Chain A
Amino acid sequence: MMVTFEAITGRYFNLTVNDAAYRIYMEEAGSGIPLVCLHTAGSDGRQYRHLMNDPAVTDHYRVIAFDMPWHGKSNPPVGWQDQEYQLTTELYRDTVAAFCNALELDNPVVMGCSMGGRIVLHLALEQPDNFRAVIALEGADRLHPYYDTDWLHRPNVHGGEICAGYVSGQVAPQSPDEYRWETLWAYMQSGPGIFKGDLHFYWVDGHFDDRSPEIDTGRCPVYLLSGEYDSSCTPERALATADRIAGSHVSIMDGIGHFPMSENPELFRTHILPVLDTIRA
């Protein structure tokens, strides 16, 4: 063959979550400790393509990224046209847990970004013995909304354009243009109302700064990494979250924004590789 395939393979399977059936798309690469990667609100698992093509990671980890239901190449449930999509803490937590159970993953590490960075904290609290560690990228236990999500889904505003416009400033000015616009491309492709529905969890339903101090990092280690240019999970909010979670590890990534793995993969790997090395040690 004249092509050089990437190390990533993609598969579909059917997953039932709380009595609803979904056709799920997942990608994976590598072997070793399962590392489940959760994409940001309004995007999909392609954000992790650089990590899945990095032998420094895949030599030690089976890196798995799946598209949440309604996202990317995963389908919404049958009858979706009569529903308004709204992600709740319970649904998100149960979807990630069902995915890990369905694949019979043994004590995986779960890493999520943004809303994914929030749900991993819920998992660390509620299912500490099921996960080897959690990594919260741009994940804090409480945020302060700074925009009105109603603009994201209305007939007189183009959904793809507004979703990209909302998050474009969340990419750091130092990040390469190629990856800035690839990150935004995924936002331009999300289904109508999906980013808005995800933000219900991220802005409204997922706060738990009152419960995060209960996380036992002796049973499930917690790593928090936040980008300097993130305007939602700001460095200050990540540090405040770390202060509330005894034994957690936190670091601030200079010159990076809200999408570290997709906006600046070269810089991100300098931050994530030491964390992954520590977890597998």
Chain B
Amino acid sequence: MFDRLAAHANTDASLIRRGKRLNLDFLVGADDQDFIISIRSGRVQEVKPRSVAIESGQFAIRARSDVWREHWQPMPKRDHHDLFSMMAAGLASIDGDITPFMQNLLYFKALLAAPRGTNTEAA
């Protein structure tokens, strides 16, 4: 469900500027599906389904697919409107080495909200 993340994120000049020094892979999960997202110089270079068990990225963020879809609504419900709020409400989790996530917190929040207001089924 993150197929079009690159199309949404890579047209956002402000987002790319914010992440221009960022180069890493991280994992995003929706239900039992995991995706590896590769970031290079702030751009989404690739989104691909996780292929092998040891492919993890530097950290992993997971939520149910219905939570992600609500997160991408033009006006999300409370507890769904922000990644930290989703975590506070127990609707999302993060594991792994979260240092780069914290160092680029505004970037990752904006990146994962990039499909907001678009066709969320195809996001």
A interface residues, Cβ below 8 angstroms from B: 146-147, 151, 156-158, 161-162, 164-166, 168-170, 172-174, 228-229, 231-232
Chain B: minimal CB distance from A158 (Å): 7
Given A146-B87, A146-B88, also A166-B78 (CB < 8 A): no
- Segment 68-107 of B: residues with Cβ below 8 Å from A: 75-76, 78-79, 81-85, 87-89, 99, 102-103, 105-106
Q: How far is the CA of A125 from the CA of B87 in the complex (A)?
A: 34
Given A146-B87, A156-B99, A231-B89, also A173-B105 (CB < 8 A): no
Chain A: minimal CB distance from B50 (Å): 27
Nearest CB in chain A to that of B83: its residue: A169
Closest 10 CB pairs of A and B: A169-B82, A165-B105, A146-B88, A231-B85, A231-B88, A169-B85, A165-B106, A169-B84, A173-B81, A229-B78
B interface residues, Cβ below 8 angstroms from A: 75-76, 78-79, 81-85, 87-89, 99, 102-103, 105-106, 109
Given A146-B87, A231-B88, also A169-B81 (CB < 8 A): yes
Chain A: minimal CB distance from B80 (Å): 10
Q: How far is the CA of A164 from the CA of B102 in the complex (A)?
A: 11
B82 contact set on A, CB distance < 8 A? 168-170, 231
Q: How far is the CA of A157 from the CA of B89 in the complex (A)?
A: 25
Secondary structure type dominating chain B contacts: helix
A157 touching B102 by the CB < 8 A rule?
A: yes
B89 contact set on A, CB distance < 8 A? 231
B109 touching A168 by the CB < 8 A rule?
A: yes
B109 touching A173 by the CB < 8 A rule?
A: no
A147 contact set on B, CB distance < 8 A? 84, 87-88
* 7 further A-B pairs in the complex, CB-CB below 8 A; given A162-B105, A169-B85, A229-B81: A156-B103, A161-B106, A165-B106, A165-B109, A170-B85, A229-B85, A232-B88
A165 contact set on B, CB distance < 8 A? 102, 105-106, 109
Q: How far is the CA of A157 from the CA of B103 in the complex (A)?
A: 5
Nearest CB in chain A to that of B18: its residue: A161
B78 contact set on A, CB distance < 8 A? 228-229
Chain B: minimal CB distance from A230 (Å): 8
